[in-house]
Chain A
Amino acid sequence: MRKIINPADLESFRQSCIKDMSREETWVAVCCGTGCSASGAHQVVSSFKEALQEKNIDGKITTRVTGCHGFCEQGPLVVVHPGNYLYCQVTPDDVEEIIEKTIIQKKAVERLQYTDPVSKEKVVVEDQVPFYYNQHRLLMRNSGIIDPTSIKDYLAISGYRALSMVLQEKSPLEVIEEIKASGLRGRGGAGFPTGLKWESCYNAPDNTRYVICNADEGDPGCFQDRSILEGNPHSVLEGMIIGAYAVSAEKGYIYVRNEYPLAVKNFSTALEQAREYGLLGENILGSGFSFDVKINRGGGAFVCGESSALIASIEGKAGEPRDKYIHATEKGLWDKPTVLNNVKTWASVPYIINNGADWYAQIGTEKSKGTMVFSLTGNVNNTGLVEVPMGITLRKLVFDIGGGIPEGKNIKAVQTGGPSGGCIPEKLLDLPLDYEKLTEAGSMMGSGGMIVMDESTCMVDVARYFLSFTQEESCGKCTPCREGGKQMLAILNNIMEGKGQENDLDMLEEIAQAMKEGSLCALGGMAPNPVLTTLKYFHQEYLDHIRDEKCPAKVCRNLIKYFINQEVCTGCGRCLKACPVDAVEGTKDEPHIIHQEKCTKCGACLEVCRYEAISVE
């Protein structure tokens, strides 16, 4: 290992990395992102290594531990190259067959192939799976190809070329102009133009400046920032170094959740490697520019994803937001001009520099450029990470990429933007996904959360769930968020318990409006969105709860009753045994009954009944 001293040196070293990476013609990529790891990907890796060794072909075939491929629903994922043979839900027992058939005989193992839920056909090649071919994978693409712990892999796929070019050919202002021209906007959710942010930091009169990467991803069900850090940490680091050069910062921080151990580990490795190779630290690539990055691990507070709370937390203070009438670009970390960007924003930078602002600006819509990574979760067939051009419709995302709704149910709504986003109803599924359109619909881009909900979802329950999250995570500093959230939650609980009154809806609107307009930070300002959007698009459902004391989706426990159909019940006694509160009564082989006064509506009887004798009303 040696320090790379100048751009020419980097290019010659890159050639050796490319040679190293393509030495073996055949290689196996095993997704070891968090999802696949949890489903046993590491055992699959071990099996491959052992089996290849046994067959004495381990020198010719590489098993590569890669980052997240995105198709988490089907994990652990294995892709055999060349040929891009995609195998789903692979277990160690499948390894022998994959080696024998695909690696040795160059044939597919059919039983492990992906079956398209719509056409019911087997798909051989990774790129032909609708989940992938409908995407525009930019930030996520290399995660499935490189070993995230190897800087050589990153160099082999043009890594640090953008940095080298910037240091050689561009002035800080030219870099800022390039980012401005690309139209890149903050991927943390607010969508502030990145180039403008950098420019105001550059213009702030001070000699010390900082850059920060916000990796405090806390939305429930969101894991795109995590996956990028885990799967391609150098892309984020390279973006940060370029940004630091553009605003003349010598020090950077990455604020990453401590609950993301693999992200912390892989990013730490990336930092060490970049330092060893001279791509980080003093006099980077002989340019005279010096910069280093420190990792700050978050303590688990959702509010620390808010920029001013995050900065306070790095400073060692309680993670509470402050008013941002004076921007961080003027007075940020330790009152010094600071650029704070999201993981995806930083990771976009090298692609923009390498391919040019014009190229980037061609992707997306007029005002929202580039791609966005969404965590597609909830009642959808293909849960996972999807990267799509801005402006794609929700319908395309949910049905073409997501494969539609499981169990043949109907879609009811999609929640975008995490717990502070809004619920977009089925009738707006043709909404193009960009910053403005989502905001107009009462939701937001957020950091890229996307939860699909089917017809069995109660929208009042959804609003209550998200509000209980934001209320729990509120720092409590300002009155509207602290007191307003508490009251709104109480009102929603009343409605769900059948104690709602009609003026509750006006009260919800009134408090929500005050929270939106009066809260100190975006957490409080956005927290009412799930309530406001469900009130707007699912008003009747609220009224059903209040006027008729009925939950149409049959979710709210206080508003439903379980019955045993006397004509269908065989008296098998399964429900009687399953009931935890002895609410079911009956003699063997005679129809049973449920004592309503005892029933806690846990649904255990419904789950165990084999004769569909139990109904909910």
Chain B
Amino acid sequence: MAVIFINDREFQTEEEVTLLELARQKGIEIPALCHHQALSPYGACRLCTVEVCKEDKSRLVTSCTYPVREEGISVYTDSPRVKQLRRVIVKLLLARCPQVKLIQDLAEEMGLEGSPFPLHDQEECILCGLCVRVCSEVIGKNAVSFSYRGAGRKVSTPFNEPSEECVGCTACAFVCPSGAIKVEDSDETRYMEFWNTKIPLRRCKECGITYTPENTPEYILGKLELPKNLLDLCEKCRRKAVAESLSNYDVTSRSVIIKK
């Protein structure tokens, strides 16, 4: 489809991909916080910004949302302009979340010692929105979303009330890069303080230990279009059935293509 240059190396792409996808396919590292390969591009953290040059013009774009289309563009993933912007972004995030390991590591890589900016918070959430997108796009529940706006922006359940939609699958905690979403399983319940939500756990009918949130298995079975008789199968056959189904999982349509 297009021949482009990344850091002066020539690459060709057949299908329409984003700059970030292409770079990663080719082993070129671009830092990004709000991107996940299973989720739609979002362009919020701006850390994946790169410089795109065409003829004598150059501009900064976010590689996660920039489609590779124009023939012959030159992309620089580490130009001075790009580096400077990333430094400021990391300094800003460091002022927001000084305790978050991921941000500390980024700052250290850049040789930053603390943020010089005047306001310092102790947030754990970097507002990448991965939790919101995974709950909506993959789980299909929309149990959490953004609330408030501007500097007061948060992720939360509606009105910060305990969620009635949440099935306790913890996909949000799985994708969360900053560790803000913590899951505590106690005897009876799964508790996620971040979402102000408790989910009852289900007990094994044999030994009585809690092993999964109450509604998760049925919901996920339906969602992933796994064989309906899955719970009738023994562990060995169940694994086989799940593996077969998942091997046919289509990321684009987010559904299992069932081969007849």
Beta-carbon contact of A480 and B116 below 8 Å: no
Residue B179 CB within 8 A of the other chain: no
Residue A173 CB within 8 A of the other chain: no
The residues of A with any CB-CB pair to B shorter than 8 Å are 301, 303, 318, 322-323, 325-326, 471-480, 482-487, 490-491, 494, 503, 507, 510-511, 513-514, 517-520
- Contact stretch, chosen from B3-11, B144-152, B188-196, B209-217: B144-152
Chain A residues whose CB sits within 8 angstroms of the CB of B93 once the complex forms: 479, 483
Residue B205 CB within 8 A of the other chain: no
- A471 to B149 CA separation, bound complex (whole angstroms): 10
The 8 closest A-B pairs by CB, nearest first: A476-B153, A514-B88, A483-B92, A323-B65, A474-B150, A487-B117, A486-B151, A323-B43
- A376 to B148 CA separation, bound complex (whole angstroms): 33
Q: How far is the CB of B136 from chain A (nearest CB, A)?
A: 11
Q: How far is the CB of B45 from chain A (nearest CB, A)?
A: 5
Q: Which residue of B lies closest to A301 (CB)?
A: B149
The listed residue (A326, A471, A490) touching B150 by CB distance below 8 A is A471
Q: Is the interface of B mostly helix, strand, loop or mixed?
A: mixed
- A479 to B49 CA separation, bound complex (whole angstroms): 12
Q: Is the interface of A mostly helix, strand, loop or mixed?
A: helix
Chain B residues whose CB sits within 8 angstroms of the CB of A518 once the complex forms: 46, 49, 60, 85, 88-89
Chain B residues whose CB sits within 8 angstroms of the CB of A479 once the complex forms: 44-47, 89, 92-93, 127
Residue B76 CB within 8 A of the other chain: no
Residue B96 CB within 8 A of the other chain: yes
Beta-carbon contact of B151 and A482 below 8 Å: yes
The residues of B with any CB-CB pair to A shorter than 8 Å are 43-47, 49, 60-62, 65-67, 81, 84-85, 88-89, 92-93, 95-96, 116-119, 127, 129, 145-146, 148-153
Known: A318-B146, A323-B62, A494-B118. Contact between A520 and B89, CB under 8 A?
no
Q: What are 24 A-B contacts with C-beta separation under 8 Å?
A: A471-B151, A474-B151, A476-B148, A476-B150, A477-B129, A478-B45, A479-B47, A479-B89, A479-B92, A480-B85, A480-B88, A483-B92, A483-B93, A487-B92, A490-B117, A490-B119, A491-B117, A507-B116, A514-B84, A517-B81, A517-B85, A518-B60, A518-B88, A520-B62
Beta-carbon contact of B150 and A480 below 8 Å: no
Chain A residues whose CB sits within 8 angstroms of the CB of B118 once the complex forms: 487, 490-491, 494
Chain A residues whose CB sits within 8 angstroms of the CB of B49 once the complex forms: 517-518
Beta-carbon contact of A325 and B46 below 8 Å: no
Beta-carbon contact of B95 and A487 below 8 Å: yes
- A360 to B81 CA separation, bound complex (whole angstroms): 41
Known: A480-B46, A514-B89. Contact between A323 and B153, CB under 8 A?
no
Beta-carbon contact of B44 and A478 below 8 Å: yes
Known: A479-B93, A480-B88. Contact between A325 and B44, CB under 8 A?
no
With a 10 A CB-CB cut-off, give which of B43, B61, B66 has the most chain A CB atoms. B43
